[in-house]
Amino acid sequence: MSVGSNYVELDNMPTMDQLLGGDSIRNEFAVNSIISGKVVEKRNDGALIDIGYKAEGFVPAAEFAKWDELKVGDQVDVYLEEVENDNSMPGISVQKAASIKAWNRITEECGEGSVVKGLMRHRVKGGIIVDIDGVEAFLPGSQIDIGSVRDMDAYIGKEYDVKILKINSERRNIVVSRRDLLEESMRARRSQLLAEMEVGQTRKGVIKNITDFGAFIDLGGVDGLLHITDMSWGRIAHPSELFEVGQEVEVVILDIDTQKERVSLGYKQKTANPWENVAEKYPVGSKVTGRVVNIMPYGAFVEIEEGVEGLIHVSEMSWTKRITKAGEVVRVGETVEAVVLDIDKESKKISLGLRQKERNPWEVLAEKYPVGSKIVGKVRNMTSYGAFVEIENDIDGMIHVSDMSWTRKINNPSEILKPGDEVEAVILDINADQQRISLGLKQTENDPWANIDEQYKVGDLVKGKITKITAFGAFVELSNKIDGLIHISQISKEHVDKVKDVLKVGDEVEARVIKMDHDERRIGLSLKAANEHYSAEELKAAEEEYTAALTPGEDMVGIGEAFEGLDIQ
């Protein structure tokens, strides 16, 4: 309806909502955006923020990082969640605005690989939540430190530099690492240390770990190996004898491998090598005193001074006793005196002797009993080749079977001797170096073969007693312990199948000498030629028959060899 030009048509008048801004005003505010506002009122539980809307928004005090410093008139950024909530007020959040701004800043300005500061907030399963300027990030337990972390609570509330490993924009999560930075720092420190190190330098370090072969030492960022062989100039069985984990030590740089970042260390090198002048300090022949530090079956190791050891071999422990184990003579910890026998400086070996403290008793015996002297002793031991007779002070001499009889071939000493027998013998030879004394039993008597031609001649009739029967003949003991052999062919003119059918041990017989063998010290006898007078020609024929009848193995067989064919009833 129109009344006049001074009147306005009611149909075209704006509504109250339009007068207040209405949709046009509402459209100026984009939901889920960050806008600026001003604090118009500060209450106990929060603040009213004017964002230019018809009503102010309310933000709880807990959302302000510095609530105590907040004052009316301050400009703050807020996140618009909704233009109007149930209270007809805009729904805004300071905390979300700060979080979004922080997220954008981190993702746009920092990115993966960047280093930022993070506050350790609280533990979660598998790690720690870290506050990076208002944005929560996840720090896995394996990335907290270089080593394994047993107590993650010890890190809570502390601020550390961390490295952004991964950003997932869709899930809005960030994974960070502290370990990477520590390792990078260590690598840098290691490179710097390796560059500063020189072979021969002395450095301090802390023992981190001990193994059977050595100790690993932290030199302040670089680990070095102190091998067990470089710990002491002396003998040690295990590194724990000298060191323990956590101990601070001073070591010498022996070698540096910059490519592999390996450092070899030495501890004994801090002192002079005691082997440098060992030959001058302990000349061969001198006496030394030391402590037995180790015993092996073959000998005992004696520490003469720290780092210098000598070996007393079992063969150098006694002149007279056969030592099979060093423990029979010495024990660990015992102090002993020994004589230096030899020094090998390059191999770091010293040979020592216990027995050399006394004069070689074999040399003393050689002076006391010159060759040809007679001794009296007891048979202590027997072997198949001889008998050992004690002379004195546990020193034995040996009577070889070949030196037991002038007239008989002895195959085994038990034929004439037994342990415990007291015998007289002659010194034949003394070898002090080889510790051998040769004795002779037969040498105590004159050699009956020396004048054998005066006692027996071919053609003589002799008497004797049968001592042995063999398959090929009988042995007869004549005077002066001389044996003769009656071959089976010389027993009778008749054929004899078995010697034992005609002769027996103990029989007294008379026989004729038909052969004298001076080289073999044998006498050939004949029974069948004993009852008749034989001419020289007949004797010659008997000798030839006797010789021809013997096999090569029987020819002039001695008494010892007779045992092989012994056939006695």
pTM: 0.47
User: Which neighbouring-strand residues pair with 338?
Assistant: 288
Q: What is the mean pLDDT of residues 426-446?
A: 89
Name 438's Cβ contacts closer than 8 Å, sequence gap at least 6: 397, 398, 400, 403, 427, 428, 429, 430
Secondary element (H or E) of residue 160: strand 159-168
Q: What is the band of 566 on the pLDDT scale with cuts at 50, 70, 90?
A: very low
Q: Quick one: pLDDT at residue 553?
A: 47
Domain 197-270: CATH class, spelled out: mainly beta
The answer on pLDDT for 434 being more than 60 is: yes
Per-residue pLDDT reduced to its tens digit, 337-357: 999 999 998 888 999 999 999
Output the DSSP codes for 242-304.
T--TT-EEEEEEEEEETTTTEEEEESGGGS--TTTTHHHHS-TT-EEEEEEEEEETTEEEEEE
Q: Quick one: pLDDT at residue 182?
A: 86
Q: What is the average pLDDT score of the chain?
A: 84
Q: What is the band of 551 on the pLDDT scale with cuts at 50, 70, 90?
A: low
CA distance 491 to 512: 11
CATH architecture entry for 111-182:
Beta Barrel (2.40)
Q: Which CATH superfamily is domain 456-565 in?
A: Nucleic acid-binding proteins (2.40.50.140)
Classified by CATH at the fold level, domain 278-357 comes out as OB fold (Dihydrolipoamide Acetyltransferase, E2P) (2.40.50)
Q: Where in the chain is the domain with CATH 2.40.50.140?
A: 30-98, 111-182, 197-270, 278-357, 361-444, 456-565
Output the DSSP codes for 79-91.
EEEESS-TTSS-E
Domain 30-98: CATH class, spelled out: mainly beta
CA distance to 8, 239, 241, 343, 406, per residue, from 274 (Å): 123, 20, 20, 13, 62
CA neighbor of 296 nearest in space, from 280, 311, 274: 311
Q: Which CATH superfamily is domain 361-444 in?
A: Nucleic acid-binding proteins (2.40.50.140)
The answer on pLDDT for 379 being more than 90 is: yes
Find out whether 55 and 90 touch, Cβ atoms under 8 Å: yes
Q: Which two tokens stand for residue 556?
A: 């002039």
Q: What is the mean pLDDT of residues 32-61?
A: 91
Per-residue pLDDT reduced to its tens digit, 248-301: 999 999 998 888 888 999 998 888 888 888 889 999 999 999 999 999 989 999
Sheet holding 57-60, edge to edge: 57-60, 46-50, 33-42, 75-82, 91-93
Per-residue pLDDT reduced to its tens digit, 479-493: 877 888 999 888 888
